[in-house]
């Protein structure tokens, strides 16, 4: 609030500046509806915020409080009718944890005809984020969109000339079937349904489909652009590059990095990067290559991994597609995540507690969830409790009891936890995401340990090379820590990090609206809880 107060006083003393002072509160309304959508030319019903895919971009300014009114207007019972919204990467302070949006951890979902208002004081946080449904597989049906927090005094502003809604890039996987039959197929076969298409800024093509227009990103010769790249996939990673141009990374998951130039980067589900691109090539059209990875295209003949792409168009260039071939990108000078360094040094603190997370998949299992397919952490498959984790903590504090299948790890407040994912023989790279916080990336999957100046981020891949992250419990409360391949997460690849249970009970005082969520959800007919 001190930042906002200073701006207001400055504006009062200099009336000409009043127009640039942001309101202390930014209010947004999202109507969650079912509507037809055809991002790749195939029309299906989707779950959409304000009727669009991606949903409306939410923008805010450092220091504001973001107030998001969400109205559930869903009617299509072939998809989930309840919902709950997560604001991925946005820090949540302990007293406000009940607005965090994680079903059955910090809240309950809300059904059709109901509404909920999320109040999110943004504090000093800035960067590139996104919001999506956190309920089951619902965001695969379309409920996902960017969220950007701008910094009026960005210390890296001298590196770019343009940073606005036209410079936000999203990549996403897309299915022609809704998530409910897709999930049923996964449970029956242990094979995640392969996406029908990859999308760039909500557009793409599939084999044999219509020649839908690719999204065009306009640039002007000589200008430098901050492109904010968000992977909103439910499964897939994307290799991103732009023909004839380099990309200078200056942010990873909301944290500023020392500028690091590459030709190509791999972005996992849930991750975000800001890159600076200088428009210094001949006036023409250039392919923005966003090559989908995840699943064997032979299992879905609709998928052509090269058809989810965009066009970088210089001012004065023809209104046409590039004449050069569609490629997978340069294949050289690819980002090594472990080479990134924080712009502002933040050495990781000494370790108080060590955890080891061994991930595994069990086929044809008889799990407490009833699923025939399950993913495990240390041989435990996460199952959502009936009573949310936060409700238990507010009732009982440190005496709260959790079922084994809640996979909840309890620590004192203000301690440092290190989680190690040993090298795995699985043919998967699991993008693990920590809610409401971020972590020091001590060891990236492909790099050596860095205990001196690792980057901080909130999504990192755990796979064959082994990964280590470190974080603190300085914000007491229960926080999801799960794989952002939502197919895996929804069959058990999740956990809860719960710090300072007595502190949580003492500091958290939810609103009446939050208190009413679980009774209302529990009273819904079974068909509306889905």
Taking the C-alpha atoms of residue 468 and residue 418, their distance in angstroms, rounded to an integer, is 7
Taking the C-alpha atoms of residue 43 and residue 45, their distance in angstroms, rounded to an integer, is 7
HEC-encoded secondary structure of 120-149:
EECCCCCEEEEEEECCCCHHHHCCEEEEEE
Among candidate residues 45, 105, 130, the one with its CA nearest the CA of residue 80: 45
- The pTM for the full model equals 0.94
pLDDT digits (tens, 9 = 90+) for 216-270: 999 999 999 999 999 999 999 999 999 999 999 999 999 999 999 999 999 999 9
Mean pLDDT of 86-91: 98
Residue 283 has pLDDT above 80, yes or no: yes
Q: What are phi and psi of 153, to 5 degrees?
A: -120, 45
pLDDT category at 393 given cuts 50, 70, 90 is very high
Domains of the chain: 2-154 (2.60.40.420), 166-339 (2.60.40.420), 353-529 (2.60.40.420)
Helix (H, G, I), strand (E, B) or coil at 514: helix
Least confident window among 152-156, 360-364, 444-448: 360-364
CA Rg, the chain, in Å?
Answer: 22
Q: For residue 334, what pLDDT is reported?
A: 97
* 504 burial level (CB within 10 Å; 0-12, 13-18, 19+): buried
Please list, in sequence order, all residues whose beta carbon lies within 8 angstroms of the beta carbon of residue 223, skipping any fewer than 6 positions away. Answer: 161, 162, 278, 279
Please list, in sequence order, all residues whose beta carbon lies within 8 angstroms of the beta carbon of residue 427, skipping any fewer than 6 positions away. Answer: none
- Strand-pair partners of 144: 132
Taking the C-alpha atoms of residue 221 and residue 281, their distance in angstroms, rounded to an integer, is 8
The DSSP secondary structure of 472-508, one letter per residue, reads: E--S-EEEEEEESSHHHHTTT-EEEEEE-HHHHHHH-
Q: For residue 63, what pLDDT is reported?
A: 97
- On whether the CB atoms of residues 90 and 120 are closer than 8 A, the answer is yes
Residue 433 has pLDDT above 80, yes or no: yes
Residue count of the chain, please give it: 530
Tokens 């210390």, located at residue: 155
Q: What CA–CA distances, in Å, run from 210 to 41, 155, 194, 201, 310?
A: 6, 44, 20, 17, 16
Q: For residue 365, what pLDDT is reported?
A: 56
Residue 15 has pLDDT above 50, yes or no: no
- On whether the CB atoms of residues 129 and 88 are closer than 8 A, the answer is yes
When comparing pLDDT for 97 and 425, which is higher?
97
Taking the C-alpha atoms of residue 97 and residue 224, their distance in angstroms, rounded to an integer, is 38
Q: For residue 369, what pLDDT is reported?
A: 52
Q: For residue 78, what pLDDT is reported?
A: 94
- Around 59, how many Cα atoms within 13 Å sit in the side-chain half-sphere? 12
Residue 21 has pLDDT above 60, yes or no: no
> In this prediction, what percent of the chain has a pLDDT beyond 70?
95
CA angle 176, 33, 148 (to 5 degrees): 90
* 44 burial level (CB within 10 Å; 0-12, 13-18, 19+): middle
Q: For residue 190, what pLDDT is reported?
A: 87
* 1 burial level (CB within 10 Å; 0-12, 13-18, 19+): exposed
Mean pLDDT of 412-422: 98
Structure tokens at 237: 């990673």
**Is beta strand 115-121 parallel, antiparallel or unpaired with respect to 237-242?**
unpaired
Among candidate residues 374, 88, 101, 328, the one with its CA nearest the CA of residue 198: 328
Taking the C-alpha atoms of residue 501 and residue 473, their distance in angstroms, rounded to an integer, is 11
pLDDT category at 69 given cuts 50, 70, 90 is very high
426-446 per-residue burial string, b: 16 or more CB within 10 A, e: under 16: eebbbbbbbbbbbbbbbbbbb
Mean pLDDT of 49-57: 98
Residue 523 has pLDDT above 80, yes or no: yes
Mean pLDDT of 290-299: 94
Least confident window among 54-63, 83-92, 364-373, 439-448: 364-373
Cα 206 off chain centre by = 25
HEC-encoded secondary structure of 259-292:
EEEECEEEECCCCEEEEEEECCCCCCEEEEEEEE
pLDDT category at 370 given cuts 50, 70, 90 is low
Structure tokens at 528: 């509306």
What is the enclosing helix (H) or strand (E) of 19? Answer: none
Mean pLDDT of 479-490: 97
Mean pLDDT of 213-217: 98
- On whether the CB atoms of residues 463 and 426 are closer than 8 A, the answer is yes
Taking the C-alpha atoms of residue 398 and residue 396, their distance in angstroms, rounded to an integer, is 6
- On whether the CB atoms of residues 265 and 202 are closer than 8 A, the answer is no
- Strand-pair partners of 222: none
């Amino acid at each position: 609030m001190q930042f906002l107060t200073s701006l207001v006083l400055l504006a009062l003393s200099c009336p000409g500046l009043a127009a640039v002072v942001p309101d202390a509160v930014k209010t947004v309304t999202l109507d969650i509806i079912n509507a037809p959508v055809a991002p790749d030319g195939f029309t299906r019903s989707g779950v959409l915020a304000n009727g669009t895919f991606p949903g409306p971009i939410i923008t805010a300014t450092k220091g504001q409080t973001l107030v998001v009114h969400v109205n559930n207007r869903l009617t299509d019972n072939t998809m989930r009718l309840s919902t709950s919204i997560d604001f991925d990467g946005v820090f949540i302070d302990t007293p406000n944890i009940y607005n965090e949006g994680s079903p059955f951890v910090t809240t309950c979902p809300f059904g059709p005809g109901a509404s909920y208002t999320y109040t999110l004081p943004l504090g000093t946080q800035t960067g590139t984020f996104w919001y999506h449904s956190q309920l089951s597989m619902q965001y695969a049906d379309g409920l996902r969109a960017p969220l950007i927090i701008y910094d009026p005094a960005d210390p890296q502003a001298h590196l770019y000339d343009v940073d606005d809604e036209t410079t936000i890039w999203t990549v996403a996987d897309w299915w022609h079937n809704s998530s409910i039959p897709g999930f049923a197929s996964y449970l029956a076969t242990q094979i995640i349904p392969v996406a029908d298409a990859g999308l760039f800024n909500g557009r793409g093509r599939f084999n044999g489909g219509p020649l839908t227009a690719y999204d065009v990103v306009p640039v002007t010769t000589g200008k430098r652009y901050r492109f904010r790249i968000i992977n909103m996939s439910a499964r897939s990673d994307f290799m991103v590059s732009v023909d004839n141009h380099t990309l200078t990374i200056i942010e990873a998951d909301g944290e500023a990095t020392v500028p690091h130039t590459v030709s190509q980067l791999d972005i996992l589900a849930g991750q975000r990067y800001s890159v600076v691109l200088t428009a210094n090539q001949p006036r023409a059209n250039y392919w923005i290559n966003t090559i989908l990875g995840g699943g064997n295209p032979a299992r879905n003949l609709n998928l052509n991994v090269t058809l989810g792409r965009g066009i970088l168009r210089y001012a004065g260039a023809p209104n046409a597609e590039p004449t050069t071939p569609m490629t997978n990108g340069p294949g050289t000078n690819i980002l090594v995540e472990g080479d990134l360094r924080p712009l502002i040094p933040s050495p990781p603190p000494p370790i108080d507690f060590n955890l080891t997370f061994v991930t595994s998949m069990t086929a044809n299992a008889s799990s407490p969830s009833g699923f025939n397919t399950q993913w495990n952490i240390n041989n435990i498959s996460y199952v959502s409790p009936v009573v949310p984790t936060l409700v238990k903590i507010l009732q009982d504090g440190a005496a709260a009891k959790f079922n084994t299948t809640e996979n909840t790890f309890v620590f004192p407040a203000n301690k440092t936890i290190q989680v190690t994912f040993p090298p795995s023989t699985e043919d998967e790279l699991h993008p693990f995401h920590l809610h409401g916080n971020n972590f020091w990336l001590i060891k990236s999957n492909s790099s050596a340990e860095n205990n001196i100046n690792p980057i901080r981020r909130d999504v990192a891949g755990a796979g064959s090379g082994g990964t280590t992250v470190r974080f603190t419990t300085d914000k007491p409360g229960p926080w999801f820590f799960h794989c952002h391949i939502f197919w895996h997460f929804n069959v058990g690849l999740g956990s809860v990090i719960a710090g300072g249970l007595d502190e949580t009970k003492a500091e958290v005082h939810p609103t009446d609206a939050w208190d009413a969520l679980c009774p209302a959800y529990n009273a819904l007919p079974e068909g509306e809880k889905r």
